[in-house]
């Protein structure tokens, strides 16, 4: 994408965000953004072929980019790894200034025809977090880490949308509990591996699952692999 096209895409997304609270991520909001930016409809469709759905996806990915930048600016050396993950999820949520845009996006991606797109976006967020935190897994763990974090992130966002506590403190407590739940599961798995009988079964299963590799190279038809205008 050229710099000019990227600028137009950014302007269209910014303009759409002024209308989303009233019209949702809809064709009405998309057409209003085109009028606001005063760009040819063909150009707008070239940047966002599916219209509002692509705008909503771009809005989500903009949040991912902001989260990664914020995470890279932090000194994580003294933090426990579970705290790094919790911080990344928190930074991702705090990267959003317009809660109503997220609420409207959640409604859009809850629709059956867009549910797969929504799941792909959430998976992409989890992938960005694990990659930013230096994940080097090259086996089934690559998938399980992202699947687990996708669940934690989704649940936390839904909680946040209904949170009216001071500075979202209830949301951050909820997030900590979800992270602790995941860590508890990992602890149980570690204990099971030490069990004489069960441990052999688990190790056998893990030896088979170790053959599963993450997607390489990244492709457009795999979770987290498609790039769109931010």
Instruction: Give tens-digit pLDDT for 35-49.
Output: 999 999 999 999 999
Q: What is the mean pLDDT of the chain?
A: 85
Instruction: Evaluate whether 52 touches 30 at the Cβ level (below 8 Å).
Output: yes
| Residue 228 predicted with pLDDT over 60 | no
C-alpha–C-alpha distance, residues 230 and 222, integer Å: 19
pLDDT at residue 181, rounded to an integer:
86
Q: Is residue 106 predicted with pLDDT exceeding 80?
A: yes
Higher pLDDT, 55 or 200: 55
DSSP state of 15: H
Q: Which H or E element spans position 39? A: none
Query: Could you report the per-residue pLDDT of 171-207, keeping only the tens digit for each?
Result: 999 999 999 888 875 565 555 455 555 445 445 444 5
Binned at pLDDT 50, 70 and 90, residue 132 comes out as very high
pLDDT over threshold 50, residue 131: yes
Per-residue model confidence as pLDDT tens digits over 68-79:
999 999 999 999
SS3 of residue 44 by DSSP: helix
For the stretch 88-104, pLDDT in tens is 999 999 999 899 999 99
Task: Find the mean pLDDT for residues 144-165.
Answer: 94
pLDDT for 170: 98
**Contact criterion met (CB below 8 Å) for 48 and 30:** yes
State the Cα–Cα distance between residues 23 and 173, nearest whole angstrom.
32
How far, in Å, CA of 193 to CA of 213, rounded?
22
Q: What is the pLDDT of residue 157?
A: 97
Identify the CA nearest to 20 among candidates 30, 12, 10.
30
* Per-residue confidence band for 133, with pLDDT thresholds at 50, 70 and 90: very high
pLDDT confidence of residue 186:
59
Closest CA to 47 of 7, 76, 80: 7
**Helical ranges in 51-139 per DSSP H:** 52-72, 81-94, 99-109, 115-132
The pLDDT > 70 percentage for the chain reads 80
Instruction: Provide the CATH topology of domain 59-209.
Output: Tetracycline Repressor; domain 2 (1.10.357)
Residues near 146 by Cβ (< 8 Å), separated by ≥ 6? 123, 126, 127, 130, 223, 224
pLDDT tens, 17-36? 999 999 999 999 999 999 99
pLDDT given for residue 229 in this prediction = 45
């Amino acid at each position: 994408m050229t710099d000019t096209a990227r600028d137009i895409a950014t302007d269209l997304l910014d303009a759409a965000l002024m209308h989303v609270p009233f019209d949702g991520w809809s064709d009405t909001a998309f057409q209003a953004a085109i009028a606001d930016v005063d760009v040819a409809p063909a150009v707008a469709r070239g940047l966002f072929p599916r219209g509002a759905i692509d705008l909503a996806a771009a809005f989500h990915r903009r949040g991912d980019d902001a989260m990664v930048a914020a995470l890279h600016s932090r000194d994580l050396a003294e933090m426990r790894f579970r705290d790094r993950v919790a911080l990344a999820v928190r930074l991702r949520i705090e990267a959003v200034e317009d809660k109503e845009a997220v609420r409207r996006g959640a409604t859009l991606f809850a629709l059956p025809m867009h549910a797969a797109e929504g799941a792909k976006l959430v998976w992409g967020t989890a992938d960005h977090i694990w990659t930013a935190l230096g994940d080097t897994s090259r086996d089934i763990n690559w998938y399980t880490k992202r699947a687990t974090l996708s669940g934690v992130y989704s649940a936390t966002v839904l909680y946040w949308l209904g949170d009216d506590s001071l500075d979202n403190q209830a949301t951050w407590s909820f997030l900590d509990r979800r992270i602790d739940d995941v860590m508890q599961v990992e602890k149980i798995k570690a204990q099971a591996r030490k069990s004489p009988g069960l441990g052999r079964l688990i190790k056998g299963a893990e030896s088979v699952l170790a053959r599963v590799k993450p997607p390489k190279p990244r492709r457009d038809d795999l979770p987290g692999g498609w790039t769109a205008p931010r």
